[in-house]
Copies of this chain bind each other. A is one copy, B any other.
């Protein structure tokens, strides 16, 4: 947890694992989505929302859109932090504003905007209780 101007921003620390790097010697582009996803799921846990439990109850949190700007590559054993802020969009969509920066020099690595929705049997459901738990009411 980081504090910035009284606004609580969630942050999760990682270290690059060698198998995440590809033959260019840097982290493969797809793996940043893995980092972003893991950070989102851990963020949700801190709000009492468990991605897997929801799935087992028939509610799936799914992504509808991802935008990622790759600013600078990560390399073997780089330490980094994934920060998350969250917004509501319209009635059904949640938007995660995510940023990856290297530790300790705070170099910006990735900026991402990830849009998700809650579904039951493949159809969007109003994310009522989830929105409450996230403090977005």
CB contact list, A42-90 vs B, under 8 A? 45, 51-52, 55, 60, 62-70, 73, 76-77
Interface size on A, residues (CB 8 A): 34
Cβ–Cβ < 8 Å partners of A24 in chain B: 55, 60, 62
Copies held by the complex: 4
Quick check: A67 and B67 within 8 Å, CB to CB? yes
Q: Are A37 and B29 in contact (CB under 8 A)?
A: yes
Stretch at the interface among A2-10, A15-23, A101-109: A15-23
Given A19-B37, A22-B21, CB of A68 within 8 Å of CB of B70: no
Q: Report 19 cross-chain contacts, Cβ distance below 8 Å, ordered by A residue.
A: A17-B34, A18-B37, A18-B41, A18-B51, A19-B22, A19-B28, A19-B38, A22-B22, A23-B23, A23-B76, A24-B55, A25-B52, A29-B37, A30-B31, A30-B33, A30-B34, A30-B37, A64-B69, A67-B67
